[in-house]
Amino acid sequence: MKEHIQRLASGAVAYKKITLAALVGLVTVVAGVFAVNMPPKDMLAIVGTLPTDIGVPEIEISTVGATGTVEASVGSSWPGELVSLRSIPVQPSREGTIVSWNVHIGQRVVAEEVLGTLSRPPSMPDTVAMLAEEEKMASMARANVVAKRVYTTERIAQLEAQRANIERSLSASQKILGTDGSGGATFSMIEAKKATIRAMLRGSLAKTYMMLSGQGTLPARWTAVALKDAIGEQNSRLRDQYPTVLFAVLTDLDTPDRLPLTSGLAYFDLVIKLVDASIPDGAMLTDAGLTDLKTMLHEDQEAFLMAADGLRETELMAVDTEKMSFEQLRMIDSDIAMLKQNLAMAEGDVVAKEASYRTVEGAIGGGSAIVAPQGGIVSSILKKPGEFVEPGMPVAIVTGAGKNGLIVRMRIPGNVRVPEIGSPLSVVRTGFPQDAREAKLIGVGNALDETGSVVADALLLESTDWPIGASLRVIASSENDTLFAPLSAVWWNAKGEPNVWAISEAGRVYVQALTLGRTVGADIEVYSGLLPGDRYIVKPSQGIVEDMLLDDLNAQADDDDLSAKSAAPNPHAGHAGMGGME
């Protein structure tokens, strides 16, 4: 529907042009007839009253991408070369003159293959002295490492023997003390002390229970416990607690894995308090008997505490022995590691000094062969026979085998629009226009080189047999083409932003913002804002407002033009007046 309306509007404009042309022709014919039959004075008067220009101007419209319009899509292309990330330069270690090359570009070589030769430099006193100094240092390093190797071997043997003695001593101590974890150390110091505590406590129970109850054997059940009436007569609570405390001790004594330290201390504490609360009855418990019982209990309690303290000291001694032994073993291991490290450093020093000697020797009196640093293909030869080179100067390039890591390196002028990273590109080998490959932009430099260009890299998306260093031409895709528009169509708003008056499909005028680039003559680059097929006004006039119809704008232009011409002075009017005066 929009296209139909546009065609009708275009037809109306064309019909208007034809009508105006016919009117102009008719006026011309009539004027010619009158001019033939009228006197010269009257003809001058009539001609003086006619407008100088009968044609009616129209607003000039341009379509982006249309043939014959002032805009143009300018494609971009830049020179480049094929670069391999696996390329390694060949750099001689000494200075000299290239005598000859044994290879040519494109030849496959292996690592350490002789590519060419350098001239042998003359021997100078200072260079000979330098070589002698390097040889001396290498010899001293070799002698040092031999001596250090002998010392290290003997010292490590001593430390290993010391370590074995400490381990044997620790094992023996653990067996004696009973901390070796064997579980069968019946006669160890710790187990002996535990057995002493059990025997001491069991003997004290047997003696005191007979004096407290009058019975010769320990009870089998706590309900069978019976105390003399005089025992603890002043504190019945202590009498009630006695069976429980007694059987707690007996239970610990009957359990092999449980040491009755806590229960034994509780028993002595309760029995002493129970005896202190007793009253002699003169028959079952006399004053002398009560005194002897108290004395015996205090002695047994003291002996029990001393035995428990001896057990703790033995256990601490076992811990200290193990700790000291482990610390000694750690120090021995540290000494052995340090000896090995020092030996390795000395051996590394020998390697470094020998390498330094070989480097100086090659730079001074040898090393005439130029060798390949890796296997691959000779992609470039940078120096010719007879040219002088310095140490480390690249003289050739060897590229590793395979086509992986091939990139196209190009230089884009700094005053043009650079494509976005990831943009598709087309790469053509110079001289072979049909041999093209697809590529993708992967990186753009952020600084200009000495030529005012930006270095950029593109990754080839297709395999190729092009040689490394081949001259290429990189062509941007059509989506990166730059549009040009006339400067007369661009106007700037109050904020300084560039715009054009664009025309919609319905024939309405609207503001279209632009992003501009370089100015080239009477045209300017348009980076964004206009697309192929868009229409805009080439030379906008005053009075244009947004959302105006194109027809109204043309009509307004017609009226303004006719008004301006009717108000203009007639150059022939003076001649007519002068004729009348005659």
pLDDT in tens, 74-101: 457 888 888 877 788 888 877 788 888 9
What is the rounded CA–CA span in Å between residue 260 and residue 247?
A: 11
What is the rounded CA–CA span in Å between residue 19 and residue 1?
A: 27
Mean pLDDT of 305-313: 90
pLDDT the model gives residue 489: 86
The predicted-structure confidence for 566-579, as pLDDT tens digits, reads as follows 555 554 444 333 33
Q: Compute, in degrees rounded to 10, the torsion defined by CA atoms 411, 414, 417, 422.
A: 40
Q: Give yes or no for a contact between 269 and 298, defined as CB atoms under 8 angstroms apart.
A: no
Is residue 9 predicted with pLDDT exceeding 50? no
Mean pLDDT of 206-226: 82
Residue 74, both tokens: 């300018």
**Per-state percent for the chain, helix, strand, coil, to nearest 5:** 45, 20, 30
92-125 b/e (C-beta count within 10 Å ≥ 16 → b): bebebebeebebeeeeebeeebebbbbeebeeee
State the pLDDT confidence band at 335, using cuts at 50, 70 and 90: very high
Q: For residue 573, which phi and psi values (nearest 5 degrees)?
A: -65, -35
Check residues 494 and 42 and name the one with the higher pLDDT.
494
pLDDT the model gives residue 29: 40
Is residue 148 exposed (0-12), middle (13-18) or buried (19+ Cβ within 10 Å)?
Answer: middle
CA distances in angstroms from 369 to 90, 114, 158, 363, 385, listed in the order given:
11, 6, 50, 11, 14
For residue 512, the Cα-to-chain-centroid distance in whole angstroms is: 42
Q: Which residue has the tokens 């040689």?
A: 467
The predicted-structure confidence for 519-541, as pLDDT tens digits, reads as follows 877 888 888 888 888 888 888 87
Check residues 522 and 449 and name the one with the higher pLDDT.
522
Check residues 219 and 271 and name the one with the higher pLDDT.
271
State the pLDDT confidence band at 560, using cuts at 50, 70 and 90: low
Q: pLDDT > 70: what percent of the chain?
A: 78
Residues near 91 by beta carbon (within 8 Å), at least 6 away in sequence: 391, 392, 393, 394, 395
85 torsion bin: left (phi>0), alpha (psi -120 to 50), beta (else)? alpha
Instruction: Give the chain's mean pLDDT.
Output: 77
Q: pLDDT > 90: what percent of the chain?
A: 16
Q: For residue 365, which phi and psi values (nearest 5 degrees)?
A: -125, -5
CA distances in angstroms from 20 to 11, 52, 54, 59, 558, listed in the order given:
14, 16, 9, 16, 12
Check residues 463 and 187 and name the one with the higher pLDDT.
463
Mean pLDDT of 125-146: 85
Is residue 177 predicted with pLDDT exceeding 80? no
Check residues 204 and 39 and name the one with the higher pLDDT.
204
Is residue 180 predicted with pLDDT exceeding 80? no
State the pLDDT confidence band at 364, using cuts at 50, 70 and 90: low
Is residue 341 predicted with pLDDT exceeding 50? yes
CA distances in angstroms from 319 to 140, 159, 259, 520, listed in the order given:
50, 24, 19, 93
Is residue 212 exposed (0-12), middle (13-18) or buried (19+ Cβ within 10 Å)?
Answer: buried
Q: Compute, in degrees rounded to 10, the torsion defined by CA atoms 421, 425, 429, 435.
A: 150
Mean pLDDT of 396-414: 77
pLDDT the model gives residue 566: 53
The predicted-structure confidence for 36-84, as pLDDT tens digits, reads as follows 444 444 433 333 443 434 444 567 888 876 644 444 444 578 888 888 7
What is the rounded CA–CA span in Å between residue 479 and residue 465?
A: 28
CA angle, residues 271, 275, 279, in degrees to nearest 5: 155
Q: Give yes or no for a contact between 526 and 485, defined as CB atoms under 8 angstroms apart.
A: yes
pLDDT the model gives residue 522: 82
Q: Give yes or no for a contact between 217 and 236, defined as CB atoms under 8 angstroms apart.
A: no
Identity (one letter) of the amino acid at 559? D
**Whole-number CA gyration radius for the chain:** 58
Identity (one letter) of the amino acid at 561? D
Q: Which residue has the tokens 């030996």?
A: 343
Residues near 443 by beta carbon (within 8 Å), at least 6 away in sequence: 421, 456, 457
What is the rounded CA–CA span in Å between residue 480 and residue 412?
A: 14
What are the strands, taking DSSP E only, across 43-199?
A: 61-63, 72-74, 77-84, 87-90, 96-101, 108-109, 114-118
pLDDT the model gives residue 46: 38
The predicted-structure confidence for 514-524, as pLDDT tens digits, reads as follows 988 778 778 88
| pTM listed for this prediction | 0.35
Q: Give yes or no for a contact between 94 and 359, defined as CB atoms under 8 angstroms apart.
A: no
Residue 564, both tokens: 């301006």
pLDDT the model gives residue 479: 61
Residue 528, both tokens: 């964004």
Mean pLDDT of 293-302: 90
Q: Give yes or no for a contact between 523 and 49, defined as CB atoms under 8 angstroms apart.
A: no
pLDDT the model gives residue 124: 66
What is the rounded CA–CA span in Å between residue 333 and residue 320?
A: 20
Sign of CA dihedral 400, 402, 404, 409: positive
Sign of CA dihedral 309, 315, 317, 320: negative
Residues near 138 by beta carbon (within 8 Å), at least 6 away in sequence: 350, 353, 354, 356, 357
CA distances in angstroms from 472 to 48, 79, 465, 467, 522, listed in the order given:
69, 6, 13, 11, 33
The predicted-structure confidence for 10-32, as pLDDT tens digits, reads as follows 444 444 444 444 444 444 444 44
pLDDT the model gives residue 83: 80
CA distances in angstroms from 183 to 149, 190, 245, 354, 454, listed in the order given:
45, 12, 30, 60, 82
What is the rounded CA–CA span in Å between residue 391 and residue 96?
A: 8
Identity (one letter) of the amino acid at 465? D
What is the rounded CA–CA span in Å between residue 151 and residue 445?
A: 58
User: Which among 81, 73, 75, 74 is positioned nearest to 473, based on CA atoms?
Assistant: 81
Residues near 390 by beta carbon (within 8 Å), at least 6 away in sequence: 95
pLDDT the model gives residue 112: 86
